[in-house]
A = this chain, B = another copy of it.
Amino acid sequence: MPRHPSLCAQRYFEDFALGEVFALPSRTMTDALFAAFQLASGDNHPVHYDVEYCRAHGMPHMLAHGFQVLIQTAAGAGLFPHMVEESLKGFIEQSSRFLAPVYPGDTLCSTSTVIGLKENSNGKTGVVYVRSTGRNQAGDVVLDYVRWVMVRKRNEASPAPEPIVPTLASNVEADGLGQACPAILAAGWNYDLSGSPHRFSDYEPGERIDHVDGMTVEEAEHMIATRLYQNTAKVHFNQFTEGQGRFGRRLIYGGHVISLARALSFNGLSNAFHLLAINGGRHVAPLFAGGTVFAWSKIAETAEIPGRDDIGALRIVTYATIDQPCAEFPGPAEKGFEDGVILELDYWAAIPR
């Protein structure tokens, strides 16, 4: 036995091979985890917390939150963050389609395939493109996604692989949406109870919505939120080490930032009740405890979903910031992003018609 084993062999850029397949461990999504997600993020979308609301719309049970499903399968019960714990430079959710609803008691696992590799020009890092499929215990595919992960090279001198960059659609098309969203009784949607009268037809491409609310994050909260995915990577948990590192602070897990942004978007988009797909996302800057997260959204597109007359789809781009209220809609700048922006997330959500 090696004297200093990592949880598993650490992977650097050279350790990924095109076409390689690897499986990640599973986790059972008990209703306790639905509650834990809500207690950590402040999310208020009733389809995740109110069984009667769901049954009134013909759903068999509460639906798991799309981001909880995505992050859980991406983290693979903590194994993936450990595989790249020493090498990870960053990641982007490139494209995700939610393909079947997930209910309390379902167990999710994922299988990943390396579909691309490209060394960066600096010769020190490279990008690994991974397609992952999330399945439930019956083998149904619930989620399909692509992400790119930037990792360090083990040895700068090692030769660069032939660059393969997969051709990815810039976004998920509307006709691919809706499979994870059970039919609802749109005529029965209670706009008084959601707190907002706005439905599909009330949103116009181009309009911008300041979500107003801010959520200050504490150390204990983000660590509890991150353990929800069984992610124990030191960058989030080990102040002894991180205190001597680049930031001097524990970095808040990107999965938690995404969850906070979606929770904050409820104010102004409360009828955009369920996630359908993710087109892309970028963790622009780090978030640390003590910071207050704000958010605003742009409606990039509205689309009917072929075969669905109960729901339409809003293509939403949400920006989250740290300590920066969003009345002026801080977003992309000439180079990069304006100060304070920590997240850009482009996704489709279902809204009653």
Contacts and interface: CB of A to CB of B under 8 A. Distances in A.
Nearest to A30: B31
B292 A240 contact: yes
Nearest to A292: B240
A214 B245 CA distance: 14
Between A52, A202, A325, the greatest number of chain B beta carbons within 10 A of the residue's beta carbon is seen for: A52
Query: How many identical subunits does the complex contain?
Result: 3
A70 B51 CA distance: 19
A170 to B, nearest CB: 26
B39 A228 contact: yes
Interface residues of A, number: 89
Contact of A192 (B23, B193, B268): B23
A164 interface: no
Contact of A240 (B24, B107, B190, B214): B214
30 contacts: A1-B198, A1-B203, A1-B268, A4-B210, A4-B327, A5-B198, A5-B267, A5-B268, A6-B267, A8-B195, A25-B193, A26-B193, A28-B51, A39-B224, A39-B228, A42-B232, A44-B77, A44-B78, A44-B232, A49-B77, A51-B137, A52-B107, A213-B234, A214-B234, A216-B237, A218-B220, A220-B221, A221-B224, A239-B290, A241-B292
The 6 closest A-B pairs by CB, nearest first: A8-B195, A240-B292, A220-B220, A32-B32, A218-B220, A216-B239
